Amino acid sequence: MSSRGPFAIGVDSSTQSTKALVVDTADGSVVAEGRAPHNVTPGGIRESDPQQWWDALCEALRQCGDAARRAGAVSIAGQQHGLVTLDSGGRPVRPALLWNDVRSAPQARRLTEEFGGPAGWAERTGSVPGASFTVTKWAWLAEHEPESLARVAAVRLPHDYLTERLTGLGTTDRGDASGTGWWSPATEAYDGEILDRIGLDPDLLPRVVRPGQAAGTVGDGLPLAPGTRVAAGTGDNAAAALGLGLLPGTPVMSLGTSGTVYTVTGRRPADPTGTVAGFADAVGGWLPLACTLNCTLAVDRVARLIGLDREAVEPGADVTVLPYLDGERTPDLPRASGLVHGLTHDTTPGQLLQAAYDGAVHALLGALDLVLDEDADPSAPLLLIGGGARGTAWRETVLRLSGRAVRVPEAEELVALGAAAQAAGLLTGEDPVAVARRWNTARGPVFGPVGRDEAALDRITGILDASTPLLDRR
């Protein structure tokens, strides 16, 4: 295949796998791709060995063949919040605590109280820390594994770890740093008082690379050509926003292992309720975002329990399912489990499955209005992305419960494409958002709005409100 521009590599290191795309910077066409899985500890504990991520990255790049070694730049996007602790030799002290490990819920509550409550945290860091945030995981580690803490010589996020394996330098970016709970959006620097309170030496943290700057270059003996430029990288949601070429006020709903709703804005968000995380984006703006822990995996689990294909939904029942199988972040119920209400002899398996879809989407739509500011266009189509966006049942549920038009971009690997756009910016000098818009990554069919199912939304809200004391087992 002939190329009209230099190649750039975008990597998505997610919870379950690593994907790598080699992209022609001229038009965004994918010239090679690779994928490799990694494992997560089953059960309530959510941990992964970071070495798996590196092995998966090397395998994904190997699958890309010669195209990967011809690339001029690479960028790593990774799952947010994960706590990676390294010893003096750069080896993991213990498995990484992942974003969906909720053992640090007690530490989250304590830290929130110690620093002025939710409003104080929202103003100070942009977000109210929940059990997903890195700061609470560090506090949990300090309390439960002091012997591990004593061996820590460096603290990284998942994308930082992989970038450092490529460059030999400890770096991160503002987007991913903003999800730790120890980075200040007001000063765009680490918050010394928070670090002091949790006993974390700032010298253990990576340098924050500014938007548009390189993190370093690839060294010898690695799966890319020596001297390949390495971008700062970012968190997965910020990378997806880049991959869409997202403009301020455009709403996005991502349906994956977790569910998220977000937009980009020039205003620094600070939601004292904690529903909206006031993250930074990767290019100098802001990414207000709300996240649920239970999305496609939870609904698929319900489908398996009742022996149905995930698309075998049926309408028409008054049954309600709150699919909080892993605890929940939105609403803030980290110790919750799933709940079924209104089951009768007449309820069919397909209706029960549809209710699980409804419960998952209800949580996301409840946060969408808080994510969008007053400048957002209420008639703008909702961009539906992630693995669930390819499913008819997911799309139809979002249409019915949102009452909005929905656009489903044809591009499937938006996190990796966003990382590739960031890498391309190093080579061309362009804003990565402009690169993605030039690539027309958000192109896709638009599904017109249908009447909003207010009765279903009201029923789910009522059951949730009435059941919260039962669900909240803190």
Catalytic site residue 236?
yes
Which candidate in 12, 176, 236, 271 is catalytic? 236
Residue 443 phi, psi (nearest 5): -60, 135
Which tokens is 8 given? Answer: 């750039």
Q: How far apart are CA 70 and CA 312, in angstroms?
A: 45
175 bridge partner residues:
none
Query: Going by C-beta distance under 8 Å and a sequence separation of 6 or more, which residues neighbour residue 204?
Result: 152, 153, 154, 155
Q: How far apart are CA 469 and CA 60, in angstroms?
A: 46
- CA nearest to 156, candidates 233, 252, 210, 219: 233
Catalytic residues: 236
